[in-house]
């Protein structure tokens, strides 16, 4: 037998008794291989990426639309129903009895203006009673406002469909919702009588209809009547009182500490000072529940897409079993085979998530800028949801955090979808895998 000659390529390899850790170069090689594997069946890769990216894009549009709707609800509820910070008699939040009044309301309002000069401060009262006309009697909620001050914080006056808006000192005027007026069979200039619980007994007051309102929300138009704070004070025979003094600020952020600070400045134990989240628990709860509901729905859609991705990745793994067998035979450890598949999912997910984010931005932009007009579908210019009347033209809002979260979730979901196929490939025996047809 010929004696062996020296091998000119003398191996310079590490000891073989330890698995050691793969060099960075090996991981970069796997990364390059993963990219090429994605290009190998480009049509399948594009279809999978389209499913992920398209789904994500639509989810992002929904996220931005939902956030826009929530913002519209909060803005409207804050401006019309409460304020960013609300001062009211202690216990009014739990039991909104019209007779729980803030005494010395003007002084309280002045203090609030002094503490927060940037705030617009309005006083409001609410009276639940019966409006009667010669033709009918209808239950209604009377909102008593300072008409001129209220113009700066709500757009109720713009909903006037007939007649004129109220004057601050008009203690007999009332503006009725169109549907309420129709039920009472009254028009502008007609008289109605308000009957409600007074200080000791049921009181009544003659009011004259100054104008009609059309908000577009049937429930509101059928039950809303607006009068002046002066009228409410005269009816209750409680001058310089109001149920609420509300502060309207440039931003809804950080109102909790402001409420606490204002409570300290007022130093009146018989008053409670709430931020808007405390003052509007129904709206806050509705939005919170709706967010959870939407997240669950989108999550289910995500899981369905993930199962589709899992199927595709598993299919691509099954097609390459022989190839993985060869790699195992050449000396790739099983963890690198698994890593290759996870890397493919990582790259696919990153590309699809980026495309989905772009799609979401492109589709959301016109909805943020021009809004989406549902008025034809709803048959009115506004609609009521959770007791809040908002415009039928809904605007999306950029929910950067939500978009980032869902984009990341789509990416992670794609990566997670590859774990089982990767585990399957890593468990292959090289001999069996290379026999695979």
Partner 1 sequence: MPIVSTRQLHRTYLQGEGEVHALDGVDLDIEPGEFVALMGASGSGKTTLLNLIGGLDRPTRGEVQVDGHALGALSSGALSRLRLDRIGFVFQAYNLIPVLSARENAEFVLLMRGVPADERRRRVDATLAAVGLEGLGDRLPSALSGGQQQRVAVARAIAGAPALVLADEPTANLDSRTGTELVEMMRRLNTEQGITFVFATHDTKVEERARRVIWMEDGKVQRDERRG
Taking 3-state DSSP, the helix, strand and coil percentages for the chain, each rounded to the nearest 5, stand at 55, 20, 25
Establish if 43 lies at the interface with partner 1 (CB under 8 A).
Answer: no
Q: How far is the CB of 53 from partner 1 (least distance, A)?
A: 23
Establish if 141 lies at the interface with partner 1 (CB under 8 A).
Answer: no
Stretch that binds partner 1, among 83-91, 136-144, 280-288, 332-340 (CB under 8 A): 332-340
- By beta-carbon proximity to partner 1, the closer residue of 185 and 335 is 335
Biggest CA–CA distance in the chain, Å, is 127
Label the pairing between strands 202-213 and 173-177: parallel
The b/e string for 88-124 (b: 16+ C-beta within 10 A; e otherwise) is bbeebbeeeebebbbeebeebbebbeebbeebbbbbb
Establish if 45 lies at the interface with partner 1 (CB under 8 A).
Answer: no
- By beta-carbon proximity to partner 1, the closer residue of 8 and 257 is 8
Establish if 36 lies at the interface with partner 1 (CB under 8 A).
Answer: yes
Establish if 434 lies at the interface with partner 1 (CB under 8 A).
Answer: yes
The b/e string for 171-206 (b: 16+ C-beta within 10 A; e otherwise) is bebbbbbbbbbbbbebebebebebebebeeeebebe
Establish if 40 lies at the interface with partner 1 (CB under 8 A).
Answer: yes
Contact 177, 225 (CB under 8 A): yes
How far CA 169 is from CA of 83, 147, 213, 228, in Å, comes to: 23, 9, 20, 8
- By beta-carbon proximity to partner 1, the closer residue of 347 and 396 is 347
Contact 118, 109 (CB under 8 A): no
Interface of this chain with partner 1, residues 391 to 430, rule: CB under 8 A? 429-430
Establish if 331 lies at the interface with partner 1 (CB under 8 A).
Answer: yes
Contact 312, 54 (CB under 8 A): no
Q: How far is the CB of 336 from partner 1 (least distance, A)?
A: 8
Q: How far is the CB of 369 from partner 1 (least distance, A)?
A: 44
- Point out which residues pair with 177 in neighbouring strands: 213
Establish if 336 lies at the interface with partner 1 (CB under 8 A).
Answer: yes
Establish if 332 lies at the interface with partner 1 (CB under 8 A).
Answer: yes
Establish if 1 lies at the interface with partner 1 (CB under 8 A).
Answer: yes
- By beta-carbon proximity to partner 1, the closer residue of 96 and 333 is 333
- By beta-carbon proximity to partner 1, the closer residue of 214 and 322 is 322
Binding site for partner 1 (CB under 8 A): 1-14, 16-20, 22-26, 29, 33, 36-37, 39-40, 322-323, 326-334, 336, 429-431, 434
């Amino acid at each position: 037998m010929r004696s062996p000659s020296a091998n000119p390529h003398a191996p310079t390899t590490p000891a073989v008794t330890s698995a050691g850790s793969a060099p960075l170069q090996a991981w970069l090689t796997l990364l390059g291989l993963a990219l090429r594997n994605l290009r190998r069946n480009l049509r399948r890769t594009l279809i999978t990426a389209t499913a992920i990216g398209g789904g994500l894009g639509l989810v992002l549009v929904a996220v931005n639309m939902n956030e826009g709707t929530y913002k519209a609800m909060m803005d409207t509820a804050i401006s019309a129903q409460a304020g960013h910070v609300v001062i009211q008699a202690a216990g009014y939040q739990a039991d909104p009895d019209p007779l729980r009044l803030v005494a010395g309301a003007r002084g309280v309002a002045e203090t609030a203006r002094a503490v927060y000069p940037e705030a617009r401060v309005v006083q409001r009262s609410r009276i639940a009673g019966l409006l009667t006309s010669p033709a009918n009697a209808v239950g209604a909620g009377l909102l008593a406002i300072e008409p001129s001050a209220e113009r700066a914080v709500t757009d109720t006056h713009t909903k006037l469909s007939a007649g004129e808006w109220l004057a601050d000192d008009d203690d007999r005027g009332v503006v009725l919702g169109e549907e309420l007026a129709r039920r009472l069979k009254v028009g502008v200039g007609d008289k109605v009588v308000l009957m409600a619980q007074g200080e000791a007994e049921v009181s009544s007051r003659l009011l004259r209809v100054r104008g009609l309102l059309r908000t577009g929300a049937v429930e509101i138009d059928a039950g809303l009547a607006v009068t002046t704070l002066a009228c409410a004070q005269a009816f209750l025979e409680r001058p310089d009182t109001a149920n609420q003094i509300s502060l309207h600020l440039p931003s809804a952020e950080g109102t909790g500490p402001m409420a606490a600070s204002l409570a300290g400045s007022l130093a009146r134990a018989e008053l409670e000072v709430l931020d808007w989240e405390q003052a509007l628990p129904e709206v806050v709860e509705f939005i919170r529940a709706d967010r959870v509901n939407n997240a669950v729905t989108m999550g289910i859609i995500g899981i369905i897409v993930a199962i589709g991705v899992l199927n595709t990745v598993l299919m691509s793994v099954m097609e390459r079993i022989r190839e993985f067998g060869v790699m195992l035979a050449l000396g790739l450890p099983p963890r690198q085979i698994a890593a290759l598949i996870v890397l493919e999912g990582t790259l696919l997910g990153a590309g699809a998530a980026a495309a989905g984010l772009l799609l979401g931005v492109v589709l959301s932009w016109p909805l943020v800028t021009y809004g989406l007009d549902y008025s034809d579908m709803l048959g009115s210019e506004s609609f009521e949801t959770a007791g809040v009347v908002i415009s039928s033209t809904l605007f999306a809002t950029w929910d950067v955090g939500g978009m980032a979260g869902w984009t990341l979730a789509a990416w992670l979901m794609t990566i997670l979808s590859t774990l089982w196929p990767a585990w399957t490939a890593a468990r292959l025996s090289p001999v069996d895998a290379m026999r695979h047809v």
